[in-house]
Amino acid sequence: MLLGWGSVGLIYTLTDHLQSPGQIMTPSSFDQMIAFTPHAIWLYLSFFIVVPLGYLMTPLDRVRWLSRAMRLTAVGAGTVY
């Protein structure tokens, strides 16, 4: 789990240093139709429970595959990010 999930954080950190500073964008009309609610933070934070549960609930013979899939997905996301 540490190799798979830890490498995701490493890739995201490295790709963060390669990009230029962020720009503030004006919200689109679609963005303005969706109300902001600070209570949604719990949905975001649940991600940090769901990912480890994925590793813990995966059969032992599939954990290596899951770890590779996480790393490959992180490389793809880091390339786009």
d(CA 76, CA 72): 6
Q: What is the pLDDT of residue 1?
A: 65
- Domain coordinates of the chain in residue numbers? 1-15+39-81
Q: What is the pLDDT of residue 51?
A: 86
Those residues whose C-beta lies under 8 Å from the C-beta of residue 66, and which sit 6 or more positions away, are 4, 54, 55, 58
Give CA 4 to chain center in angstroms: 12
Please indicate, yes or no, whether the overall pTM of this predicted structure exceeds 0.85.
Answer: no
Per-position pLDDT tens, the chain of length 81? 667 777 878 888 888 788 778 889 999 999 999 988 899 899 989 988 988 898 899 999 999 999 889 888 888 888 887
Q: What is the pLDDT of residue 41?
A: 92
